[in-house]
Structure 1
Amino acid sequence: MAIGDLVEVETGSCEDLHFLDVGMYDTPEYGGVYVLDAERPAVVETGLGTRAADILDAMARVGIAPEDLDVVAVTHVHLDHAGGAGHLARACENAEVVVHETGAPHLADPSRLVEGTKAAVEDQWQYYDDPIPVPHERIREVTDGDVVDLGDHELRVHHAPGHAPHQVVFEDPANDAVFAADAAGIYVPQLDDVVQTTPPAQFHFERALTDVDLLRELAPETLLFTHFGSAETDGLLDRYEAVLSEWVADVEAAREELGDDEAVIERFQRETEMGDVWSERKARAETRLNTRGVLGYLDYRDRDD
């Protein structure tokens, strides 16, 4: 796919579902948004906020007018998933914005979220748009076990806090699919494989493994990745458990060997093989982000011990 491409999702049993490449970080096949043409239409995920017009155009191509959109659902409030929520809420005046209850205050007042994101993503902030606050009355707070009724579809809410405490995954039984957020890693279509996503400041390894177990229990036919696209579940969850475990162990071993966190980050940046997939700049930035997330988790674990 290229940036701006809209495709119908036909993986597994999926129907009424389209996927848009929103060109996160000016990188194709890295981040996207789903348009679910249900009786009560929904957009799942919203991108960085920089391409809200592309989402509205995708809706139009599917046949959904802004005033007819009922739900904007974000899996968590990291701005690569929720950065466009306020933009869509402003354009789609009848839509409720669905988010886990712990993330809701950050959609209503994104100031702390922006501060934290700038600290986490460093010079990648240039690719973001300033988020627009979502009015309190437009936010629907959900928690584990809640259901968002879309008529002929529904989004069943499952709390998945390993990547971030405000993360949920949305199960769509009609499509035998789960909008997997970052709970199953980043799917790379070019490789037909998954890679880790472990950003600061709230990544928690053991909880992330529990989230993988949750997805196993749900046993969807299809995983719907924000990063990037749809894939049959078969084998991917076992693969992500192995990838994530190896990644955390490698970062921990490098810290023990080098004794300097910046040296650890630089080592993994040199060794990344994702430059041919996303561009060298994005691959190095992604590696830096993920290494810092594991190092932060190790600090938290050691303090807790």
Structure 2
Amino acid sequence: MPLLLLFWGGSVQAMREQIDLGYSRLYVLDATPRDFGAEYIRVYIVDGGEQAVAVVETGPASVAESVAKAVAEIANGRQVEIILTHVHIDHGGGAGRVAGLLTEQGLQVAIWAHPRGAPHIVNPSKLWKASNEALGETALVYGEPEPAPSSAVHETRDGMELCLGQARLRIIHTPGHASHHQSILLEPAVGQGERILFPGDSAGMYDPSSQGLAPTTPPPLRLDMYRESLRRMIDEKPDRIAFTHIGLGPAQLLETHRWQVDIWEETVREALARGLDPEKTLEAILDRDPYTARLYQRLGGTPHGRRMILNSVLGFMDYVQRMQGSY
């Protein structure tokens, strides 16, 4: 598993890790804007050795130039299939710009997204407005998405497959974090081999260095759908999980996250009954959940990282309050 450290300048420090799966190569890029303050976003490139490469996520618009440069180098003239887990601007905000830069270099590019998310890639104005309202200054760090031509944007179907020579990518619609969320399973097209799941934001965020894990659940969270999506991914029995936030981890993290979601919901219900505000609710979660506590040590020291974890708390609080109001 050779590791290459490359620096292309601009707003991102791009780390490339090359993993040989036998039937394909998997490249891992750091696509975190420098101003974020901590490594937070990964882009994955799948090279099955044939006529096309796949890019899982593009990261935000502010790092599009660096990501496009890395993709073009690996693609080496081949077609590029961009697959977004969802269109939130830290995952797919750079899709339009990356596609445009690659097209300028003569590459054929297709962008694949959930049917509910695809229109926001073509016209991201509503997405950008909502992102500013939800994320504040963090949205400015990510940058404003550029529109992609409608001819380049394609809708996925649950269960559809994209074949890249020896590699196959299967789409699994996994709503809950967002209605337009999907996950991707990388597996050999023929025979045996390690299977990698790209869960986007449907299985939390994981830091390999601290082994910290926490939900990524901003409002409006549908926790019932989130749990069902998590069950579907567990049933797939992947070998490893390639988290967009922040790296690769073992498959058992899916079960750990299922336990974690129960702890969060129970803690939030108790906190709301006591009249605690989001900050105090976060403190209560940190006291009960060692995985979140580890991740908070990693991200909580930066204003943008702390905002991401607090937004997850707000999502749980909003969900519980809506459920209580429906009785």
TM-score (normalizing by structure 1)? 0.89
Cα distance change of structure 1 residues 285 and 77 upon mapping to structure 2, 3 Å threshold? same
Cα deviation per residue 1:1-52 (whole Å; 9 max; x = unaligned)?
Answer: 9942111135x77741100011146243311100112321111101111111
Structure 2 matches for 1:220-235, cutoff 5 A? 220-233=238-251, 235=252
Cα distance change of structure 1 residues 253 and 145 upon mapping to structure 2, 3 Å threshold? same
Cα deviation per residue 1:206-234 (whole Å; 9 max; x = unaligned)?
Answer: 2111111111111011111111122221x
1:216 aligns with 2:227: no
Q: Note the C-alpha offset of 1:56.
A: 2.2
Q: Distance in 2 between matches of 1:13 and 1:244?
A: 35
Q: Distance in 2 between matches of 1:14 and 1:294?
A: 40
Structure 2 matches for 1:81-120, cutoff 5 A? 81-93=91-103, 94-120=108-134
Runs of 5+ unmatched residues, structure 1:
none
Cα deviation per residue 1:276-302 (whole Å; 9 max; x = unaligned)?
Answer: 312242343123211221122123323
Mapped contact 1:109–1:133 kept (Cα < 8 A): yes
For 1:266, the equivalent position in structure 2 comes to 279
Q: Note the C-alpha offset of 1:270.
A: 5.3
Runs of 5+ unmatched residues, structure 2:
6-11, 189-193, 287-292
Mapped contact 1:251–1:264 kept (Cα < 8 A): no
**1:53 aligned to 65, 81, 104, which one?**
65
For 2:313, the equivalent position in structure 1 comes to 291
How large is the RMSD of aligned CA atoms in angstroms? 2.2
- How many pairs are equivalent? 296
Cα distance change of structure 1 residues 53 and 300 upon mapping to structure 2, 3 Å threshold? same
**2:28 aligned to 19, 25, 42, which one?**
19
SS at match of 1:82: coil
Amino acid at match of 1:80: D
1:36 aligns with 2:46: yes
Amino acid at match of 1:76: H
Q: Note the C-alpha offset of 1:167.
A: 0.6
TM-score (normalizing by structure 2)? 0.84
1:183 aligns with 2:196: no
Cα deviation per residue 1:188-208 (whole Å; 9 max; x = unaligned)?
Answer: 11222421111112x111211
For 1:243, the equivalent position in structure 2 comes to 260
